[in-house]
Amino acid sequence: MKKLGTIWIVGILLIVLVACGGTTVTPDLPPEILYGEDVCDQCNMIISDERFAAGLVVELAPGKFEHRIFDDIGDLLAYEKAHGEEFTIAAYYVHDYNSKEWIDGKSAYYIQSEELFTPMGFGLAAAAQRLEAEALAEEWNGSVLSFAELHERTMAGQDVTEHVHQQN
Amino acid sequence: MRLKTISTLAGYELRSSLRNRWFLLYALAFAVLAVALSSLSLTGAGMFGFAGFGRTAASLINLVLLIVPLMGLTIGAQSLASEREKGTLAYLLAQPVSRAEVLWGKFVGLGTALLAALLLGFGLSAAVIAWQGGVVEAQQYISLVGFSLLLALVTLSLGIFLSAWSRSSALAVGLALFAWLALVFIGDLGLMSTAVAMKVKIQTLFGLALINPLQVFKIAAVNSLRASLEILGPAGIYATRTYGDALITLLVSVLLVWVLVALGAAYLRFRVEADF
Amino acid sequence: MNRAHFAVTIPFIIIALMLPKGSVAQKGATDSLQSLIDAAAAGALVEVPYGLYEGTVTINKPLHLTGVPGENGQLPIIDGKGNGTVLTITAAETTVEGFEIRASGNVIDHEDGGIVVEQAKNVHLTNNRLTDVLYGIRGVEAYGLKVIGNTIHGKDLHIARRGDSIRIWQSEDCLVEGNTIEKARDAIFWFSDGTTVRNNHFLNSRYGIHMMYTDGMTIEGNELNGNSVGAYLMYSKNVMIAGNTFRENRGPSGYGLALKDMDGVTVRDNYYIDNRVGIFFDNAPSRIDITQSIERNVLAFNDIGALMMPAVQNNILRNNTFLDNLEQVGLKGGGSNPGESLGANGWDGNYWSDYVGYDAGGEGTGDIAYHSASLFENLADQHPALGLLHFSPVEQAIDLAAQAFPIIKPKPKLSDNVPRMTPLLPQTMPVVAQPSSAMGWLAALLLAGAGLLYWSQRPKFVPDLPASLAPHRANDKRTSANQAQVPSRSIQKETAMDTQAAVNEPMISVQNLTKRYAQPGRAWWSDATITAVDDLSFELKEGQAVALWGVNGAGKTTVLKCLLGLLDCDGELQLDGTDLRKDGRNARRHFGYVPQELAFHNDLSVAESCRFYARLKDVDLARIPIVLDQVGLMSQERKAVGALSGGMKQRLALALALLGDPPVLLLDEPTSNLDAETRDEFLDLLSQLHRAGKTLLFTSHHLEEVEQLAEQVLILRDGKLFAKGAPAEMMHLLNPKREGQRTHLRAVEAPSDAAYLMTVPVHNGVITPTQVRQNGSVFS
């Protein structure tokens, strides 16, 4: 019964091959962005500048997470405002302006300044440490906001782009 | 292995191919369609003179995808099986020839017939393009031709493989037609439903596409015509990003591996075949 | 003004005379340039001779700085040496003309660049060349800035690390004209109402033009080629986009022109060629009370001609030409009802290259509406990953199926009720195709390739003229050829081998030969077998003639096929002391094989067959006429094998077996295809060969053959050796009466012979004993 043995082995190998899956998204995993290639989920533009790039982990169904990526922190907030009811947000990710590392968006400090030229003109940057944020704010004649303040202001305010347009 | 033996066997295969009605019909159909498609698709593009991918290359890719595998598979499938059925194979093997020589002789002879027929079709089509002042670039056209020839050899090898494993000529040709259907339609439909229903990752999708030599040909042809694969959507962009310049090497290797694996598997069976 | 002009120029002319010709190095020149600027009176014209000046330079008063080219037209160079911004202008009404500005710093946070104009009105930057700069020209609150005829080459960095070629920010009424920009990130125009961008080339950058919050802008006559996006226009009103060419803007974004939240734009007379997407509409117009006009554009050879986000409405597209886009119009994300989404825009009166209507009245528009309905397109809009299947036949198959089965037939995603019959091309015409001589040469090359390929593998066994004359030459040798053809190899052997010892060596030795076949009709996973030859052993001495005797199925043919390597079997098979199966190919060189079933390539002629097999056996072609003559086939040389009679084929088989002059002949029922007369003739021929020294192993159930040829008979039953001995000793076993109980097994095989035997009385004298035996032998 050599043949039967062979058939079994091939069958088992096929099942093993099919069963092999890939990695899954979890809330503690920041998105990977290919700069110069990937596009922003809010404005469709190419994400090139990691200093201002931001990301969300959204939970579409219990246990089913997906990434959303943005070229500007303002676009992240605009996206949440426009689509927030379609999912729950499991995590916010922004970049520390100085180290260019992903940091947790909820505990970050935000600098808003008209002098800051960000990809979509929101003038927003983030820093992990309050002191660094204050130093940057001073350099750019801007102000420092906590995540809660920024979030509340955006969600309560008018259309984010409109806000910027008027601001300038 | 002796070259003289292989060339003698190949010569016979070439000669009988050119007397095979089916082969001649396919070759004629390919030449006529290639010329007609080039001519038709250029009436628009030639007039406006836009350098674009346009219809010529796309329609030629489509034509190759449909006809070349049909040619390769069916003549490959007939090769061993019909001779076995007629009994000529047993007599041939009683001569001082090795089975590897017989297999190579088949492959070389049928391959030559196939490639010559394709070159004829592509040559006539190129003549039409040149005459009408087409915008197809010679270099891109050459790559299209090159990949088509490679695809022809892949499908021929697959046909020979089916032939080696089939007891009768009818079965071999039946399997060849099924294989054609599977490669041209069923595989792609499977790929489609995988993409739509299972929402697999694009790298998985691209990997699955590489299993089908027709897709490999298509990807290679598009890649050399366009210098990137983004026309094939996210999976194409992924491939261009991931493999870059190595992509063509990868695709050509996949096709060559198909030839070697199919011929190897055919040889494994043919070597121990004991039903003469 | 004039005096100041002279005062400034003279020292520079002196410096210039002191410069070595063509020299670039001039230490301290920078200081001179900066100090000169500092020294010049406001509004002065400063002519700067050719030379190398080190940056960074600041102009903080109105000046007209003009570079005087060197002898060969080289521009004076201001070199930033990789630090900061090369030239900073903070004074209004300043002109900088004719410089090469290069090597800015590399720090993106500081926006290092070539020229910065800050809070200065009406600055003119003309005919400068900026190379190796992170940012090119930056204007901040630079109202009325004019950037004319410059070339800007970014640093050779990854696209994500580059700076912007031009950035005009918070500056109204600017003019950017006739510049060439390459390898940068974007040319950005933000918060700069009334700016005009005209006749520039934006090449191989990220966004050729990236515009936001700039109302009343005019973008015309530009070439935007090879960028990720040609022009991305956002959040602005009343913008005119006319006469531009968007070509090969590809990549993950890959739009020719993208409109996001744009209100009141006019898009006309543009070409969009070979982009991923020709025009992309995203919430444009953003106000529901605005309609926008998209007219006389040519969208050709794009992956998608026009792509819209689902909520886009109120764009009126008329007199546009949609030419051979893979997908003429697409809806991003697919949407639940593409027809309704796209239908919120106007599509009437465009040219569609895939329109298949007619125009009976000759009014220039089709009499039936154009509908764009493709199931595959809809699926691909919803699942972009399906783009992988573009150009596959499955694409058309799905659409064909959709046409055939109304249940899956998609509704049209857009309709044009008055489609144009002819394309409408604006005045500006991109590259015109030339008849291609390269393709002509290629055509010739390919056709020659086809010929060469055929020639390289042409059948070489088709006789050419000299070979067809060969029989006549052979005729001369006819007598000698007829004389029993003592096979040369045997002769050599006989003469070479002295005698007994060698003769006693077995020529062929078969030990414990066992052959099992797969059981007919067994299941495909089963290993069940039947045994055809069971532990058979025998030997053949050189020159011996041995018959294998037995009923069909006794295993006679199997033995021959095992010797030929046609079957896989167990046991030891030796030829002249060497293992037969070790190198079967060479072993077969020593065998001439005449099969029972004569299957040759029927499409070859006798001569072609001989040449074909002669080449396989590596035999001199001169052997062909000899063997043909030997078997009496000379006259049939040109006949197709398929047209030969059974007897003729048998002769051909023997001729082919003799081609290589092999020492051993393996004959499977050698006379079974022959009638009585030819049989005798044939047996004579075989006897002759035997006498000439050939070793013969043949299967038979004809007593006549055995009597006439065999020196030994091996009787096989059910694959086992039943008995062996000289034919005379074996007669009692070969006798049909003794074997009578087996008659019924054979009767089916040869009914005519059996009937003949039964109807013809044995004693009437017509039938010779030989014939009786012969006929009787059928029952063996």
C174-197 pLDDT, tens per residue?
999 999 999 889 999 999 999 999
Q: What's the CATH fold of domain C1-205? A: Pectate Lyase C-like (2.160.20)
Structure tokens at C270: 């543009």
Which residue, among B151, B183, B178, has the nearest Cα to B64 in the 3D structure? B151
**Average of per-residue pLDDT across C372-383:** 86
The DSSP H or E segment spanning A5 is helix A2-19
Name, in order, each residue with C-beta under 8 angstroms of B236's C-beta and a sequence gap of 6 or more: B206, B219, B222, B228, B229, B230, C387, C388
CA–CA separation, C348 and C417 (whole Å):
6
More confident residue, C702 or B23: B23
Residue C271's pLDDT band, with cuts at 50, 70 and 90, is very high
More confident residue, C334 or B117: B117
Paired residues of C152 in beta bridges: C130, C181
- Chain A residues at the C interface, defined by Cβ less than 8 Å, are 1-4, 7, 35-39, 43-46, 48-51, 117, 120-121, 161, 165, 168
B207 in reach of chain C (CB within 8 A): no
Class of domain C478-494+542-568+583-734: alpha beta
Tell me the CB-side half-sphere exposure of residue B182, using CA atoms within 13 A.
12
**Average of per-residue pLDDT across C69-84:** 90
Residue A15: per-residue pLDDT: 58
A37 in reach of chain B (CB within 8 A): yes
More confident residue, A72 or C681: A72
Tell me the CB-side half-sphere exposure of residue C626, using CA atoms within 13 A.
20
C235-262 pLDDT, tens per residue?
999 999 999 999 989 877 889 999 999 9
Residue C426: per-residue pLDDT: 67
Residue C702 DSSP SS3: coil
Q: How is chain C split into domains, by residue range?
A: 1-205, 232-373+411-431, 478-494+542-568+583-734, 735-780
More confident residue, C492 or C327: C327
Best mean pLDDT range from B35-49, C402-416, C613-627: C613-627
Contact present, C158 and C180 (Cβ < 8 Å): no
Residue A134's pLDDT band, with cuts at 50, 70 and 90, is very high
CA–CA separation, C168 and C200 (whole Å):
15
Q: Which of C271, C304, C390, C392 to mutate to test the interface with B (most CBs of B within 10 A)?
A: C392
**Average of per-residue pLDDT across C330-334:** 86
CA–CA separation, B8 and C624 (whole Å):
17
One-letter amino acid identity for C1? M
Q: Which residue in the set A7, A39, A117 is minimally distant from C253, CB to CB?
A: A39
Residue A29: per-residue pLDDT: 87
**Average of per-residue pLDDT across C152-168:** 88
CB within 8 Å: C392 and B188:
yes
Q: Range of A114's domain?
A: 27-163
CA–CA separation, B219 and B143 (whole Å):
12
Residues of chain C neighbouring B7 (CB-CB closer than 8 A) = 457, 460
Q: How is chain B split into domains, by residue range?
A: 3-272
CA–CA separation, A168 and A114 (whole Å):
8
C166-169 and C135-140 as β-strands: parallel, antiparallel, unpaired? parallel
Structure tokens at C174: 């600017």
CA C768 from centroid of its chain's CA atoms = 72
B residues 81-140 closer than 8 Å to C (CB): 86-88, 90-98, 101, 108-109, 112, 115-117, 119-120, 122-127, 129-138
Structure tokens at C539: 């030997």
Whether residue C501 has pLDDT greater than 60: no
Tell whether A37 is covered by a domain: yes
Residue C14: per-residue pLDDT: 46
**What value of ipTM does the predicted structure carry?**
0.90
Whether residue C461 has pLDDT greater than 50: yes
| C301: DSSP letter | S
C631-683 pLDDT, tens per residue?
888 888 888 988 988 888 888 999 999 998 899 999 998 887 788 888 888 88
Q: Output the CA angle C140-C236-C165, nearest 5 degrees.
A: 40
Whether residue A32 has pLDDT greater than 70: yes
Quick one: chain B helix, strand, coil %, rounded to 5? 85, 0, 15
Report how many domains make up chain A: 1
Residue with tokens 């990720």: C228
B202 in reach of chain C (CB within 8 A): yes
Residue C482 DSSP SS3: helix
Contact present, B184 and C394 (Cβ < 8 Å): yes
Tell whether A4 is covered by a domain: no
Residues of chain C neighbouring B269 (CB-CB closer than 8 A) = none
Residue C314: per-residue pLDDT: 93
CA–CA separation, C147 and C200 (whole Å):
10
CA–CA separation, A35 and C681 (whole Å):
90
Q: Say what percent of chain A tops pLDDT 90.
A: 42
Whether residue C45 has pLDDT greater than 70: yes
Residue C434: per-residue pLDDT: 58
CA C205 from centroid of its chain's CA atoms = 32
Contact present, B97 and B9 (Cβ < 8 Å): yes
Which residue, among C28, C271, C440, has the nearest Cα to B131 in the 3D structure? C440
Q: Dump the DSSP string for C386-415.
A: GGGGTTSHHHHHHHHHHHH-GGGPPPPSEE
Q: Which residue of A has its CA nearest to B230?
A: A37
Residue A164's pLDDT band, with cuts at 50, 70 and 90, is very low
The rounded average pLDDT for each run of 10 residues, N- to C-terminus, in chain B (276 residues) is: 89 90 91 86 56 65 92 93 89 90 94 95 88 73 93 97 91 95 92 82 88 94 82 86 88 95 93 74
Contact present, C478 and C471 (Cβ < 8 Å): no
CA–CA separation, C71 and C76 (whole Å):
11
**Average of per-residue pLDDT across C543-567:** 86
CA–CA separation, C89 and C675 (whole Å):
114
Structure tokens at C421: 């019959």
| Number of DSSP helices (H) and strands (E) in chain C, helices first | 22, 49
C32-64 burial, b if ≥16 CB within 10 A, otherwise e? bbbebbeebeeebbbbbbbbbbbbbbebebbbb
CA–CA separation, C33 and C384 (whole Å):
57
One-letter amino acid identity for A87? F
Which of A163-167, C161-165, C763-767 has the least mean pLDDT?
Answer: C763-767
Residue B173: per-residue pLDDT: 93
Which residue, among C264, C256, C246, C301, has the nearest Cα to C423 in the 3D structure? C301
Q: Which of A40, A46, A95, A159 to mutate to test the interface with C (most CBs of C within 10 A)?
A: A46
* First-to-final CA distance of chain B: 22
One-letter amino acid identity for C259? L
Q: Which residue of C has its CA nearest to A6?
A: C525
Radius of gyration of chain C from its Cα atoms, rounded to whole angstroms: 48
Q: Say what percent of chain C tops pLDDT 90.
A: 37
In this structure, how many other beta carbons lie within 10 angstroms of the beta carbon of residue C748? 9
CA–CA separation, C298 and C316 (whole Å):
15
Structure tokens at C269: 């007379």
Residue C550: per-residue pLDDT: 84
More confident residue, B230 or C713: C713
Residue C573 DSSP SS3: strand
Residue C501 DSSP SS3: helix
| B183: DSSP letter | I
A62 in reach of chain B (CB within 8 A): no
Structure tokens at C394: 């499955």
Structure tokens at C694: 């050939």
Q: Which whole-number Å values give the CA distances from B174 to B178, B259, C210, in the listed order?
A: 6, 21, 59
Structure tokens at C414: 């857009």
Residue C402's pLDDT band, with cuts at 50, 70 and 90, is confident
Residue C557's region, left for phi above 0, alpha for psi from -120 to 50, else beta, is alpha
CA–CA separation, C685 and C700 (whole Å):
17
Residue C598: per-residue pLDDT: 84
Whether residue A11 has pLDDT greater than 70: no
Give the number of beta-carbon pairs within 8 Å between A and B: 6
C631-643 pLDDT, tens per residue?
888 888 888 988 9
Query: What does the mean pLDDT of chain C come to?
Result: 81
Tell whether A126 is covered by a domain: yes
B166 in reach of chain C (CB within 8 A): no
C261-291 burial, b if ≥16 CB within 10 A, otherwise e? bbbbbebbbbbbbbbbbbbbbbbbbbeeebe
Q: Which residue in the set B196, B218, B236 is minimally distant from C383, CB to CB?
A: B196
Tell whether A112 is covered by a domain: yes
C223-225 and C201-203 as β-strands: parallel, antiparallel, unpaired? parallel
Residue C383 DSSP SS3: coil
B241 in reach of chain A (CB within 8 A): yes
